Amino acid sequence: MAEEELKPVPAAEAALVQPGKVSQWLAENGFFHEFLDLDANGVEIIKVPANFLLPISTALYAYGFNYLQFQGGIDLGAGEELVSVYHLLKVSDNADRPEEIRVKVFLPRENPSVPSVYWIWKTADWQERESYDMYGIIYEGHPNLKRILMPEDWVGWPLRKDYISPDFYELQNAY
């Protein structure tokens, strides 16, 4: 072996994670995003600003990500940001392991608003409604954004980490 091959890689270079191929494709085509990391299964995770979600989602759909497997919300903690997460798959015939990507949109707790991807992936319908119902994330442009799990007159967002549960809830018109 040559002596150059045995030299250790500087810690700063070793810590850099190279973006995945989808992230590189987005960057080459002028779509602003931030590559976060690969998860334990090697799935790319990218961070997208809320105002770029629709253009990037449309580009990912054109790139072949035709299935929204999962959309959900995350609360990073009391006083911290909320996150709207999208897990996309490239589904095709005879695919043993479809290509995957995870998109995260970090939102301010005070006004968590993001465009709906319902018009790109219809599977977002009830999933966005659930994230709205549990976290209070507003999906602009959603055709039927209303509570899906909690009663319509419920106050608050039950899965937020700073949520205070009411002492009681009076059922009205229970019969």
Stretch (H or E) spanning 128: helix 124-135
Query: What domains can be seen in the chain, in order of their start residue?
Result: 21-111 (3.30.460.80)
**Residue 16 pLDDT class (50, 70, 90 cuts):** low
Per the confidence metrics, is the pTM higher than 0.75?
yes
Give the residue-averaged pLDDT of 6-14.
51
Q: Do 140 and 115 contact (CB within 8 A), yes or no?
A: yes
pLDDT tens digits along 22-78: 988 999 989 899 999 999 988 999 999 999 999 999 999 999 999 999 999 999 998
The pLDDT score that the predictor gives to residue 1 is: 47
End-to-end CA distance of the chain: 81
DSSP per-residue string spanning 20-61 = -HHHHHHHHTT---EEEEE-TT--EEEE--GGGHHHHHHHHH
